[in-house]
Amino acid sequence: MQGTSDIDYQSFEQDRELTRREKIAAALGGMTGTIHTQMISMFILFFYTDVMEINPAYVAGLLLICRIIGASLIPAFGIVVDKVTTPWGKYVPWYVILGVPIAILGWLTFTDFNFGPTGTLVYATVTYLIYSILVSIRAAPFHAVGPAITKRVDDRVSLGQYTYFAVMMAAIVTTIAQPAYKALGGGSDARGFSILMGLIGLFCIIASIFQVVTLKERYVVKPKKGDKRTPIKEMFKAVFTNKNAVVVYIYILAITLASGIRSAVMIHYFKYFFLNESLVVIFGVMSLIPTILGVMISGKLIKRFGIKRVILTCTAVNVTCTAAIMFIPATSGGVVTFFAALAIANLFMGFANPAQATMLPAAMDYTEWKTGININGFMGSFQGVMQSLAVAISGSVAAVSLSFIGYVPGAEQSSETIFGLKVLMGFLPAVIFLFTASVAWFDITEEKQNQIAKELAVRRKKKQSISE
Protein backbone atom coordinates (compact mmCIF):
# COMPACT_ATOMS: atom_id res chain seq x y z
CA MET A 1 0.00 0.00 0.00
CA GLN A 2 1.28 3.44 -0.84
CA GLY A 3 2.28 5.49 2.17
CA THR A 4 0.25 8.45 3.34
CA SER A 5 3.01 10.70 4.65
CA ASP A 6 3.22 12.61 1.36
CA ILE A 7 -0.54 13.20 1.12
CA ASP A 8 -1.46 16.87 1.23
CA TYR A 9 -4.94 16.78 2.70
CA GLN A 10 -5.16 20.57 2.78
CA SER A 11 -5.03 20.65 -1.04
CA PHE A 12 -7.84 18.14 -1.36
CA GLU A 13 -11.06 19.71 -2.58
CA GLN A 14 -14.43 18.08 -1.98
CA ASP A 15 -15.70 16.45 -5.17
CA ARG A 16 -18.57 18.18 -6.90
CA GLU A 17 -21.94 16.69 -6.00
CA LEU A 18 -23.74 14.88 -8.80
CA THR A 19 -26.63 16.77 -10.35
CA ARG A 20 -30.15 15.36 -10.24
CA ARG A 21 -29.99 14.69 -13.99
CA GLU A 22 -26.77 12.67 -13.52
CA LYS A 23 -28.26 10.66 -10.68
CA ILE A 24 -31.35 9.86 -12.76
CA ALA A 25 -29.18 8.83 -15.71
CA ALA A 26 -27.01 6.56 -13.56
CA ALA A 27 -30.06 5.09 -11.85
CA LEU A 28 -31.63 4.17 -15.18
CA GLY A 29 -29.03 1.43 -15.51
CA GLY A 30 -30.57 -0.30 -12.51
CA MET A 31 -34.04 0.20 -13.92
CA THR A 32 -33.44 -1.27 -17.37
CA GLY A 33 -31.32 -4.08 -15.98
CA THR A 34 -33.98 -4.97 -13.43
CA ILE A 35 -36.71 -5.04 -16.05
CA HIS A 36 -34.81 -7.61 -18.09
CA THR A 37 -33.70 -9.76 -15.16
CA GLN A 38 -37.17 -9.70 -13.57
CA MET A 39 -38.92 -10.59 -16.82
CA ILE A 40 -36.59 -13.56 -17.03
CA SER A 41 -37.00 -14.50 -13.37
CA MET A 42 -40.76 -14.09 -13.23
CA PHE A 43 -41.95 -15.13 -16.67
CA ILE A 44 -39.41 -17.08 -18.74
CA LEU A 45 -40.27 -20.39 -17.06
CA PHE A 46 -44.00 -19.74 -17.50
CA PHE A 47 -43.53 -18.48 -21.08
CA TYR A 48 -41.51 -21.52 -22.15
CA THR A 49 -43.68 -24.15 -20.42
CA ASP A 50 -47.20 -22.73 -20.76
CA VAL A 51 -46.97 -20.53 -23.87
CA MET A 52 -44.34 -22.22 -26.05
CA GLU A 53 -45.15 -25.61 -24.46
CA ILE A 54 -41.55 -26.70 -23.98
CA ASN A 55 -40.82 -29.58 -21.60
CA PRO A 56 -39.96 -28.26 -18.09
CA ALA A 57 -36.92 -30.54 -17.83
CA TYR A 58 -35.49 -29.07 -21.05
CA VAL A 59 -36.21 -25.56 -19.80
CA ALA A 60 -34.39 -26.31 -16.53
CA GLY A 61 -31.29 -27.40 -18.43
CA LEU A 62 -31.52 -24.46 -20.83
CA LEU A 63 -31.77 -21.86 -18.05
CA LEU A 64 -28.88 -23.37 -16.12
CA ILE A 65 -26.47 -23.93 -19.03
CA CYS A 66 -27.08 -20.56 -20.67
CA ARG A 67 -26.59 -18.69 -17.44
CA ILE A 68 -23.42 -20.63 -16.59
CA ILE A 69 -22.02 -19.77 -20.04
CA GLY A 70 -22.94 -16.12 -19.52
CA ALA A 71 -21.46 -16.05 -16.03
CA SER A 72 -18.19 -17.62 -17.22
CA LEU A 73 -17.79 -14.88 -19.84
CA ILE A 74 -18.30 -11.95 -17.47
CA PRO A 75 -14.78 -11.84 -15.93
CA ALA A 76 -13.18 -12.08 -19.37
CA PHE A 77 -15.36 -9.24 -20.55
CA GLY A 78 -14.46 -7.28 -17.41
CA ILE A 79 -10.79 -7.57 -18.36
CA VAL A 80 -11.60 -6.24 -21.83
CA VAL A 81 -13.51 -3.31 -20.34
CA ASP A 82 -10.63 -2.42 -18.00
CA LYS A 83 -8.08 -2.55 -20.83
CA VAL A 84 -10.09 -0.66 -23.47
CA THR A 85 -10.86 3.05 -23.48
CA THR A 86 -13.11 4.40 -26.23
CA PRO A 87 -12.98 8.02 -27.49
CA TRP A 88 -16.27 8.57 -25.62
CA GLY A 89 -15.21 7.10 -22.28
CA LYS A 90 -14.26 3.86 -20.59
CA TYR A 91 -17.49 2.58 -19.02
CA VAL A 92 -20.42 4.84 -19.98
CA PRO A 93 -20.48 4.06 -23.75
CA TRP A 94 -21.36 0.45 -22.94
CA TYR A 95 -24.84 1.58 -21.98
CA VAL A 96 -25.57 1.88 -25.71
CA ILE A 97 -23.15 -0.73 -27.02
CA LEU A 98 -24.89 -3.42 -24.96
CA GLY A 99 -28.23 -1.75 -24.24
CA VAL A 100 -29.52 -1.76 -27.83
CA PRO A 101 -28.86 -5.46 -28.61
CA ILE A 102 -30.22 -6.49 -25.18
CA ALA A 103 -33.47 -4.69 -25.97
CA ILE A 104 -33.75 -6.44 -29.34
CA LEU A 105 -32.90 -9.90 -27.99
CA GLY A 106 -35.36 -9.45 -25.12
CA TRP A 107 -38.15 -8.97 -27.66
CA LEU A 108 -37.01 -11.95 -29.73
CA THR A 109 -36.78 -14.19 -26.67
CA PHE A 110 -40.38 -13.50 -25.67
CA THR A 111 -41.74 -13.83 -29.21
CA ASP A 112 -43.12 -17.16 -30.42
CA PHE A 113 -42.95 -17.52 -34.21
CA ASN A 114 -44.52 -21.01 -34.13
CA PHE A 115 -41.65 -22.83 -35.82
CA GLY A 116 -42.99 -26.23 -34.77
CA PRO A 117 -41.72 -28.50 -31.95
CA THR A 118 -38.13 -28.83 -33.14
CA GLY A 119 -37.85 -25.34 -34.57
CA THR A 120 -39.24 -23.85 -31.36
CA LEU A 121 -36.61 -25.65 -29.27
CA VAL A 122 -33.80 -24.40 -31.54
CA TYR A 123 -35.19 -20.86 -31.63
CA ALA A 124 -35.69 -20.68 -27.86
CA THR A 125 -32.21 -22.06 -27.22
CA VAL A 126 -30.42 -19.65 -29.55
CA THR A 127 -32.30 -16.49 -28.57
CA TYR A 128 -32.14 -17.16 -24.84
CA LEU A 129 -28.43 -18.04 -25.02
CA ILE A 130 -27.55 -14.72 -26.68
CA TYR A 131 -29.96 -12.74 -24.52
CA SER A 132 -28.68 -14.22 -21.26
CA ILE A 133 -25.04 -13.68 -22.26
CA LEU A 134 -25.66 -10.01 -23.06
CA VAL A 135 -27.65 -9.46 -19.86
CA SER A 136 -24.84 -11.13 -17.91
CA ILE A 137 -21.80 -9.33 -19.34
CA ARG A 138 -23.44 -5.90 -18.97
CA ALA A 139 -22.54 -6.13 -15.28
CA ALA A 140 -18.82 -5.55 -15.94
CA PRO A 141 -19.01 -1.96 -17.25
CA PHE A 142 -22.30 -1.00 -15.60
CA HIS A 143 -21.17 -1.66 -12.02
CA ALA A 144 -17.93 0.22 -12.72
CA VAL A 145 -19.68 3.48 -13.66
CA GLY A 146 -20.38 4.57 -10.06
CA PRO A 147 -16.74 4.92 -8.91
CA ALA A 148 -15.94 6.65 -12.22
CA ILE A 149 -18.46 9.45 -11.71
CA THR A 150 -18.29 10.12 -7.93
CA LYS A 151 -16.15 9.38 -4.88
CA ARG A 152 -18.44 11.03 -2.33
CA VAL A 153 -20.02 8.71 0.24
CA ASP A 154 -23.11 10.91 0.51
CA ASP A 155 -23.41 10.90 -3.29
CA ARG A 156 -23.24 7.11 -3.31
CA VAL A 157 -25.95 6.81 -0.69
CA SER A 158 -28.08 9.28 -2.64
CA LEU A 159 -27.34 7.46 -5.88
CA GLY A 160 -28.35 4.25 -4.15
CA GLN A 161 -31.68 5.87 -3.27
CA TYR A 162 -32.22 7.04 -6.84
CA THR A 163 -31.26 3.63 -8.15
CA TYR A 164 -33.70 1.81 -5.94
CA PHE A 165 -36.47 4.21 -6.82
CA ALA A 166 -35.66 3.35 -10.43
CA VAL A 167 -35.61 -0.34 -9.56
CA MET A 168 -39.01 0.05 -7.95
CA MET A 169 -40.28 1.66 -11.13
CA ALA A 170 -38.98 -1.39 -12.93
CA ALA A 171 -40.85 -3.51 -10.39
CA ILE A 172 -44.04 -1.69 -11.38
CA VAL A 173 -43.42 -2.66 -15.00
CA THR A 174 -42.88 -6.31 -14.14
CA THR A 175 -45.77 -6.25 -11.68
CA ILE A 176 -48.26 -5.08 -14.29
CA ALA A 177 -46.66 -7.32 -16.91
CA GLN A 178 -49.20 -10.07 -16.23
CA PRO A 179 -52.34 -7.98 -16.87
CA ALA A 180 -50.43 -6.05 -19.56
CA TYR A 181 -49.60 -9.05 -21.73
CA LYS A 182 -53.15 -10.33 -21.21
CA ALA A 183 -54.60 -7.01 -22.42
CA LEU A 184 -52.12 -6.49 -25.25
CA GLY A 185 -52.54 -10.04 -26.51
CA GLY A 186 -56.31 -9.87 -26.91
CA GLY A 187 -56.65 -13.50 -25.83
CA SER A 188 -53.21 -14.62 -27.07
CA ASP A 189 -50.52 -14.72 -24.37
CA ALA A 190 -47.83 -15.23 -27.03
CA ARG A 191 -48.83 -12.06 -28.88
CA GLY A 192 -49.16 -10.15 -25.61
CA PHE A 193 -45.65 -11.05 -24.45
CA SER A 194 -44.18 -10.05 -27.83
CA ILE A 195 -45.85 -6.62 -27.85
CA LEU A 196 -44.97 -5.97 -24.21
CA MET A 197 -41.28 -6.79 -24.72
CA GLY A 198 -41.22 -4.66 -27.86
CA LEU A 199 -42.42 -1.65 -25.86
CA ILE A 200 -39.94 -2.40 -23.07
CA GLY A 201 -37.13 -2.68 -25.62
CA LEU A 202 -37.96 0.72 -27.13
CA PHE A 203 -37.89 2.37 -23.71
CA CYS A 204 -34.56 0.73 -22.83
CA ILE A 205 -32.95 1.98 -26.05
CA ILE A 206 -34.07 5.56 -25.37
CA ALA A 207 -32.84 5.29 -21.76
CA SER A 208 -29.39 4.06 -22.85
CA ILE A 209 -28.97 7.01 -25.22
CA PHE A 210 -29.92 9.44 -22.42
CA GLN A 211 -27.31 7.86 -20.14
CA VAL A 212 -24.48 8.19 -22.63
CA VAL A 213 -25.36 11.82 -23.38
CA THR A 214 -25.64 12.78 -19.70
CA LEU A 215 -22.96 10.92 -17.74
CA LYS A 216 -19.34 12.07 -17.67
CA GLU A 217 -16.47 10.02 -16.27
CA ARG A 218 -14.48 12.27 -13.95
CA TYR A 219 -12.31 9.72 -12.14
CA VAL A 220 -10.72 7.64 -14.87
CA VAL A 221 -7.07 8.34 -15.66
CA LYS A 222 -6.39 7.67 -19.33
CA PRO A 223 -3.50 5.22 -19.80
CA LYS A 224 -0.33 6.48 -21.43
CA LYS A 225 1.52 4.71 -24.19
CA GLY A 226 4.03 2.35 -22.64
CA ASP A 227 2.02 1.78 -19.44
CA LYS A 228 2.28 -1.82 -18.35
CA ARG A 229 -0.97 -3.74 -18.23
CA THR A 230 -1.84 -5.54 -15.02
CA PRO A 231 -1.45 -9.33 -15.38
CA ILE A 232 -4.66 -11.31 -15.02
CA LYS A 233 -3.19 -13.27 -12.11
CA GLU A 234 -2.62 -10.04 -10.17
CA MET A 235 -6.15 -8.89 -10.97
CA PHE A 236 -7.62 -12.07 -9.48
CA LYS A 237 -5.35 -11.78 -6.46
CA ALA A 238 -6.34 -8.15 -5.90
CA VAL A 239 -10.03 -9.03 -5.94
CA PHE A 240 -10.09 -12.15 -3.83
CA THR A 241 -7.64 -10.99 -1.19
CA ASN A 242 -10.05 -8.10 -0.61
CA LYS A 243 -12.28 -9.51 2.13
CA ASN A 244 -14.80 -6.74 1.65
CA ALA A 245 -15.29 -7.55 -2.04
CA VAL A 246 -15.86 -11.22 -1.21
CA VAL A 247 -18.48 -10.22 1.37
CA VAL A 248 -20.30 -8.16 -1.28
CA TYR A 249 -20.30 -11.09 -3.71
CA ILE A 250 -21.71 -13.49 -1.10
CA TYR A 251 -24.39 -10.97 -0.21
CA ILE A 252 -25.39 -10.44 -3.85
CA LEU A 253 -25.44 -14.20 -4.56
CA ALA A 254 -27.63 -14.94 -1.54
CA ILE A 255 -30.18 -12.18 -1.99
CA THR A 256 -30.50 -12.73 -5.76
CA LEU A 257 -30.78 -16.50 -5.41
CA ALA A 258 -33.46 -16.37 -2.71
CA SER A 259 -35.45 -13.69 -4.52
CA GLY A 260 -35.07 -15.53 -7.83
CA ILE A 261 -36.54 -18.76 -6.51
CA ARG A 262 -39.52 -16.90 -5.08
CA SER A 263 -40.06 -14.93 -8.29
CA ALA A 264 -39.90 -18.05 -10.45
CA VAL A 265 -42.65 -19.90 -8.54
CA MET A 266 -44.66 -16.90 -7.37
CA ILE A 267 -47.28 -17.09 -10.12
CA HIS A 268 -47.67 -20.84 -9.46
CA TYR A 269 -47.99 -20.21 -5.72
CA PHE A 270 -50.75 -17.63 -6.09
CA LYS A 271 -52.57 -19.61 -8.77
CA TYR A 272 -52.66 -22.94 -6.93
CA PHE A 273 -52.32 -22.09 -3.22
CA PHE A 274 -54.52 -19.01 -2.91
CA LEU A 275 -56.37 -19.89 -6.14
CA ASN A 276 -55.97 -16.32 -7.39
CA GLU A 277 -53.37 -15.66 -10.09
CA SER A 278 -54.15 -11.92 -10.09
CA LEU A 279 -52.56 -11.61 -6.62
CA VAL A 280 -49.32 -11.17 -8.57
CA VAL A 281 -50.35 -7.55 -9.12
CA ILE A 282 -51.02 -6.97 -5.41
CA PHE A 283 -47.69 -8.63 -4.65
CA GLY A 284 -45.97 -6.01 -6.77
CA VAL A 285 -47.80 -3.13 -5.15
CA MET A 286 -47.14 -4.42 -1.62
CA SER A 287 -43.50 -4.84 -2.54
CA LEU A 288 -43.24 -1.40 -4.08
CA ILE A 289 -44.85 0.96 -1.56
CA PRO A 290 -43.08 -0.26 1.63
CA THR A 291 -39.74 -0.38 -0.19
CA ILE A 292 -40.14 3.19 -1.41
CA LEU A 293 -40.95 4.33 2.13
CA GLY A 294 -37.91 2.49 3.41
CA VAL A 295 -35.63 4.03 0.80
CA MET A 296 -36.94 7.51 1.61
CA ILE A 297 -36.03 7.06 5.28
CA SER A 298 -32.82 5.10 4.67
CA GLY A 299 -30.47 8.08 4.40
CA LYS A 300 -31.15 9.22 7.96
CA LEU A 301 -30.98 5.66 9.32
CA ILE A 302 -27.69 4.96 7.58
CA LYS A 303 -26.23 8.22 8.89
CA ARG A 304 -27.30 7.40 12.45
CA PHE A 305 -26.69 3.65 12.69
CA GLY A 306 -24.18 2.95 9.92
CA ILE A 307 -24.25 0.76 6.82
CA LYS A 308 -23.49 -2.55 8.50
CA ARG A 309 -26.03 -2.32 11.31
CA VAL A 310 -28.85 -1.33 8.97
CA ILE A 311 -28.19 -4.26 6.60
CA LEU A 312 -27.88 -6.83 9.41
CA THR A 313 -31.21 -5.70 10.89
CA CYS A 314 -32.77 -6.11 7.46
CA THR A 315 -31.38 -9.65 7.27
CA ALA A 316 -33.01 -10.68 10.56
CA VAL A 317 -36.40 -9.25 9.58
CA ASN A 318 -36.27 -10.67 6.07
CA VAL A 319 -35.47 -14.19 7.24
CA THR A 320 -38.26 -14.13 9.82
CA CYS A 321 -40.93 -12.80 7.47
CA THR A 322 -39.97 -15.19 4.67
CA ALA A 323 -39.97 -18.27 6.91
CA ALA A 324 -43.42 -17.26 8.23
CA ILE A 325 -44.91 -18.17 4.82
CA MET A 326 -44.75 -21.82 5.87
CA PHE A 327 -47.42 -21.19 8.51
CA ILE A 328 -49.84 -19.07 6.47
CA PRO A 329 -53.16 -20.81 5.61
CA ALA A 330 -54.87 -20.69 2.21
CA THR A 331 -57.64 -18.40 3.46
CA SER A 332 -58.61 -14.76 3.03
CA GLY A 333 -56.96 -14.13 6.40
CA GLY A 334 -53.90 -15.94 5.13
CA VAL A 335 -53.74 -13.59 2.15
CA VAL A 336 -53.78 -10.60 4.50
CA THR A 337 -51.09 -12.16 6.71
CA PHE A 338 -48.94 -12.95 3.68
CA PHE A 339 -49.01 -9.38 2.42
CA ALA A 340 -48.47 -7.95 5.90
CA ALA A 341 -45.30 -10.01 6.30
CA LEU A 342 -44.26 -9.01 2.79
CA ALA A 343 -44.78 -5.32 3.57
CA ILE A 344 -42.66 -5.50 6.74
CA ALA A 345 -39.85 -7.35 4.96
CA ASN A 346 -39.80 -4.89 2.08
CA LEU A 347 -39.87 -1.87 4.39
CA PHE A 348 -36.65 -3.07 5.99
CA MET A 349 -35.26 -4.01 2.58
CA GLY A 350 -35.85 -0.40 1.61
CA PHE A 351 -33.77 0.68 4.62
CA ALA A 352 -30.90 -1.55 3.50
CA ASN A 353 -30.87 -1.16 -0.29
CA PRO A 354 -29.07 2.22 -0.55
CA ALA A 355 -26.57 1.04 2.06
CA GLN A 356 -25.87 -2.12 0.09
CA ALA A 357 -25.34 -0.04 -3.06
CA THR A 358 -22.35 1.73 -1.47
CA MET A 359 -20.45 -1.46 -0.64
CA LEU A 360 -19.06 -2.52 -4.04
CA PRO A 361 -17.86 1.00 -4.98
CA ALA A 362 -16.18 1.16 -1.56
CA ALA A 363 -14.53 -2.21 -2.17
CA MET A 364 -13.37 -1.04 -5.62
CA ASP A 365 -11.78 2.09 -4.16
CA TYR A 366 -10.19 0.00 -1.40
CA THR A 367 -8.58 -2.30 -3.99
CA GLU A 368 -7.16 0.66 -5.92
CA TRP A 369 -5.99 2.30 -2.69
CA LYS A 370 -4.29 -0.85 -1.39
CA THR A 371 -2.79 -2.23 -4.63
CA GLY A 372 -2.44 0.83 -6.83
CA ILE A 373 -4.38 -0.74 -9.71
CA ASN A 374 -7.83 0.20 -10.99
CA ILE A 375 -9.81 -2.89 -11.99
CA ASN A 376 -13.35 -1.64 -11.45
CA GLY A 377 -14.69 -3.35 -14.56
CA PHE A 378 -13.17 -6.65 -13.49
CA MET A 379 -14.54 -6.32 -9.96
CA GLY A 380 -17.95 -5.29 -11.27
CA SER A 381 -17.92 -8.37 -13.47
CA PHE A 382 -17.94 -10.66 -10.43
CA GLN A 383 -21.08 -9.05 -9.10
CA GLY A 384 -22.52 -9.93 -12.49
CA VAL A 385 -21.21 -13.48 -12.12
CA MET A 386 -22.97 -13.83 -8.79
CA GLN A 387 -26.22 -12.42 -10.17
CA SER A 388 -26.08 -14.58 -13.30
CA LEU A 389 -25.32 -17.73 -11.35
CA ALA A 390 -28.11 -16.92 -8.92
CA VAL A 391 -30.62 -16.38 -11.73
CA ALA A 392 -29.48 -19.59 -13.44
CA ILE A 393 -29.60 -21.66 -10.28
CA SER A 394 -32.88 -20.17 -9.08
CA GLY A 395 -34.60 -20.79 -12.42
CA SER A 396 -33.28 -24.32 -12.65
CA VAL A 397 -34.06 -25.09 -8.99
CA ALA A 398 -37.60 -23.84 -9.54
CA ALA A 399 -38.06 -25.82 -12.76
CA VAL A 400 -36.62 -29.04 -11.35
CA SER A 401 -38.53 -28.59 -8.10
CA LEU A 402 -41.82 -28.21 -9.94
CA SER A 403 -41.24 -31.59 -11.57
CA PHE A 404 -40.05 -33.09 -8.29
CA ILE A 405 -43.13 -31.99 -6.33
CA GLY A 406 -45.44 -33.30 -9.04
CA TYR A 407 -46.60 -30.02 -10.57
CA VAL A 408 -48.93 -30.47 -13.57
CA PRO A 409 -49.58 -27.26 -15.59
CA GLY A 410 -53.24 -26.23 -15.62
CA ALA A 411 -54.43 -29.09 -13.39
CA GLU A 412 -55.55 -29.23 -9.77
CA GLN A 413 -52.46 -29.77 -7.63
CA SER A 414 -52.02 -32.42 -4.95
CA SER A 415 -51.44 -31.56 -1.28
CA GLU A 416 -47.79 -32.61 -1.66
CA THR A 417 -47.38 -30.20 -4.56
CA ILE A 418 -48.98 -27.38 -2.58
CA PHE A 419 -46.63 -28.03 0.35
CA GLY A 420 -43.71 -28.02 -2.09
CA LEU A 421 -44.77 -24.60 -3.39
CA LYS A 422 -44.82 -23.29 0.19
CA VAL A 423 -41.29 -24.60 0.74
CA LEU A 424 -40.10 -22.89 -2.43
CA MET A 425 -41.74 -19.61 -1.41
CA GLY A 426 -40.87 -19.72 2.30
CA PHE A 427 -38.42 -22.12 3.91
CA LEU A 428 -35.80 -22.41 1.15
CA PRO A 429 -35.48 -18.65 0.47
CA ALA A 430 -35.32 -17.95 4.23
CA VAL A 431 -32.35 -20.30 4.63
CA ILE A 432 -30.57 -18.65 1.71
CA PHE A 433 -31.31 -15.15 3.03
CA LEU A 434 -29.29 -16.08 6.14
CA PHE A 435 -26.09 -15.76 4.11
CA THR A 436 -26.66 -12.02 3.71
CA ALA A 437 -25.46 -11.80 7.32
CA SER A 438 -21.95 -12.04 5.81
CA VAL A 439 -22.07 -8.22 5.87
CA ALA A 440 -20.95 -8.52 9.51
CA TRP A 441 -17.41 -8.97 8.11
CA PHE A 442 -17.52 -5.81 5.93
CA ASP A 443 -15.21 -3.34 7.67
CA ILE A 444 -14.88 -0.32 5.37
CA THR A 445 -16.57 2.31 7.48
CA GLU A 446 -17.90 5.59 6.13
CA GLU A 447 -14.94 7.40 7.70
CA LYS A 448 -12.50 5.04 6.03
CA GLN A 449 -14.22 5.54 2.67
CA ASN A 450 -13.71 9.31 2.98
CA GLN A 451 -10.05 8.83 3.85
CA ILE A 452 -9.50 6.53 0.88
CA ALA A 453 -11.27 8.96 -1.46
CA LYS A 454 -8.97 11.78 -0.36
CA GLU A 455 -5.80 9.76 -0.87
CA LEU A 456 -6.93 8.50 -4.26
CA ALA A 457 -7.72 12.07 -5.33
CA VAL A 458 -4.18 13.21 -4.54
CA ARG A 459 -2.65 10.21 -6.29
CA ARG A 460 -4.80 10.88 -9.34
CA LYS A 461 -3.68 14.52 -9.52
CA LYS A 462 -0.04 13.51 -9.21
CA LYS A 463 -0.36 10.93 -11.98
CA GLN A 464 -2.11 13.40 -14.26
CA SER A 465 0.50 16.08 -13.62
CA ILE A 466 3.30 13.61 -14.41
CA SER A 467 1.61 12.52 -17.66
CA GLU A 468 1.28 16.16 -18.70
- CATH classification of the domain holding 126: 1.20.1250.20
Task: Check pLDDT > 90 for residue 219.
Answer: no
More confident residue, 411 or 206: 206
The number of folded domains in the chain is 1
CA dihedral 468, 89, 256, 341 (to 10 degrees): 100
Residue 41 · residue 392 · CB < 8 Å: no
| Band of residue 196 on the pLDDT scale cut at 50, 70, 90 | very high
Residue at 14 is within a domain: no
| Alpha-carbon gap, residue 6 to 362, rounded angstroms | 23
Residue at 248 is within a domain: yes
Residue at 467 is within a domain: no
**Bridge-partner residues for 86, per DSSP?**
89
User: pLDDT tens digits for 417-444?
Assistant: 999 999 999 999 999 999 999 988 988 8
Residue at 70 is within a domain: yes
Residue at 182 is within a domain: yes
| Alpha-carbon gap, residue 184 to 271, rounded angstroms | 21
Task: Check pLDDT > 70 for residue 12.
Answer: no
Task: Check pLDDT > 80 for residue 19.
Answer: yes
Which pLDDT does position 247 carry in this prediction?
A: 92
Residue at 466 is within a domain: no
Which pLDDT does position 432 carry in this prediction?
A: 93
| Alpha-carbon gap, residue 383 to 377, rounded angstroms | 10
Which pLDDT does position 280 carry in this prediction?
A: 79
Residue at 333 is within a domain: yes
- Rg of the chain taking only CA atoms, in angstroms: 22
- Domain interval for residue 184: 27-221+230-460
Residue at 19 is within a domain: no
Q: What is the pTM of this model?
A: 0.68
| Alpha-carbon gap, residue 34 to 41, rounded angstroms | 10
Task: Check pLDDT > 90 for residue 136.
Answer: no
Task: Check pLDDT > 80 for residue 224.
Answer: no
SS3 of 178-218? HHHHHHHHCCCHHHHHHHHHHHHHHHHHHHHHHHHHHCCCC
User: pLDDT tens digits for 154-186?
Assistant: 777 788 778 877 877 887 788 788 888 889 988
Burial class (CB in 10 A: 0-12, 13-18, 19+), 36: buried
